[in-house]
Amino acid sequence: MKRLLLLFLICTCAHAQTQTTTIEVRLLALGSANSMPERYLSTKDGFEEVTYSSRQASQTIEAYIDEQLPLFKKSANPNARSGYEVADQIKLPPESKSVLLLCWNTPEGQKFHAINDSILKAEYNTWLMINTTAKAVGFRIGENEKPVFLEPNSIKNYTVTAEEGKGVPVWGRAEFDGNIKTFYSTYWRIRENERSIVIFNEVGNKIRVKKIGDRLVRNNETTSQTSR
């Protein structure tokens, strides 16, 4: 009986040690993607290099995690067991199953920030607003809609009320030199089969607006991406 109990405990511990949690990861560069560092995610097929783009979110990678999301680089130690070593540890939002990993350059180096954002649950009107500026921004999408208010350096989910395929006026306002001014005004089309990621960047004393189309996917498409 003691031997059976000992065997059971050994098997249980071995199983616990091999159990690994995964999370779905997509990347999006908020600025220039050219100078971002070479990084890898640990997957069931080995270490997969991530791709950076500021034009669209990357394809989904199913990556192993512990309490945080490790990003790896190639190890300079020729005796390294896997040939890779942890370069960055990214804090994950609580109970997240899928994240959009934002990355950008600062004078102090590269920064990474994971936000809970499942593309499988997204709809055409569930937009993601990212204000990277030091200014509070008011942004209206639609003729008679109330503006969405974005705090400096904040991220907010916003539900657009306009119908698919419709064109709507948009404008953005913020404070410049003590006065509230319009910094952006145009028409946007609410496209079918994609939601939008809207990024506000501060360039000098101006605010630039970038609208990125994020194509909606479903389970079968995500499975084909992660199994490629």
pLDDT tens for 77-115 read 776 667 899 999 999 999 889 999 999 988 888 899 999
Instruction: Judge if 37 and 60 occupy the same domain.
Output: yes
Q: What is the pLDDT of residues 178-214, one digit of tens each?
A: 999 999 999 999 998 999 999 999 988 899 999 999 9
Query: Is 135 in contact with 128 (CB distance < 8 Å)?
Result: no
136: buried, middle or exposed (CB in 10 Å: 19+, 13-18, 0-12)?
middle
The predicted structure's pLDDT at residue 34: 85
Residue 227 belongs to some domain of the structure: no
Instruction: Judge if 91 and 11 occupy the same domain.
Output: yes
Residue 48 belongs to some domain of the structure: yes
- Joined together, the tokens standing for residue 219 give 């389970």
Q: What is the pLDDT of residues 125-183, one digit of tens each?
A: 999 999 999 999 999 999 889 999 999 999 999 999 988 989 999 999 999 999 999 99
Instruction: Judge if 101 and 141 occupy the same domain.
Output: no
Instruction: Judge if 110 and 26 occupy the same domain.
Output: yes
Residue 138 belongs to some domain of the structure: yes
Residue 72 belongs to some domain of the structure: yes
Instruction: Judge if 108 and 135 occupy the same domain.
Output: no
Q: Which position has the token pair 């640990």? A: 42
Instruction: Judge if 11 and 106 occupy the same domain.
Output: yes
17: buried, middle or exposed (CB in 10 Å: 19+, 13-18, 0-12)?
exposed
Nearest-angstrom CA–CA distance, 127 and 164: 13
The predicted structure's pLDDT at residue 221: 53
Residue 99 belongs to some domain of the structure: yes
Nearest-angstrom CA–CA distance, 141 and 169: 6
Residue of 23, 29, 21, 209 whose CA lies nearest to 101: 29
Residue 228 belongs to some domain of the structure: no
3-class DSSP assignment, residue 63: strand
The predicted structure's pLDDT at residue 80: 67
In this structure, which amino acid lies at residue 22? Answer: T
With b meaning 16 or more CB within 10 Å and e meaning fewer, what string describes 61-75? bbbebeeebbbbebe
Q: Which position has the token pair 């499988």? A: 120
Q: Among 94, 118, 142, identify where a domain stops.
A: 118
Residue of 76, 54, 50 whose CA lies nearest to 62: 50
Instruction: Judge if 86 and 143 occupy the same domain.
Output: no
Instruction: Judge if 93 and 158 occupy the same domain.
Output: no
Nearest-angstrom CA–CA distance, 126 and 195: 6
The DSSP symbol for 19 reads: -
The predicted structure's pLDDT at residue 108: 83
Q: Among 81, 100, 118, identify where a domain stops.
A: 118
Query: Is 40 in contact with 47 (CB distance < 8 Å)?
Result: yes
Nearest-angstrom CA–CA distance, 88 and 211: 28
Rounded to two decimals, the pTM is: 0.81
For residue 40, give its domain range.
2-118
Residue 43 belongs to some domain of the structure: yes
Q: In terms of DSSP bridges, do strands 46-49 and 40-43 run parallel, antiparallel, or are they unpaired?
A: antiparallel
The predicted structure's pLDDT at residue 227: 47
Instruction: Judge if 64 and 86 occupy the same domain.
Output: yes
Residue 220 belongs to some domain of the structure: no
Instruction: Judge if 178 and 90 occupy the same domain.
Output: no
Instruction: Judge if 103 and 156 occupy the same domain.
Output: no
Whether 45 has a pLDDT exceeding 90, the answer reads yes
Task: Domain count for the chain, please give it.
Answer: 2
Instruction: Judge if 106 and 147 occupy the same domain.
Output: no
Q: When comparing pLDDT for 68 and 121, which is higher?
A: 68
Q: Among 118, 138, 157, identify where a domain stops.
A: 118
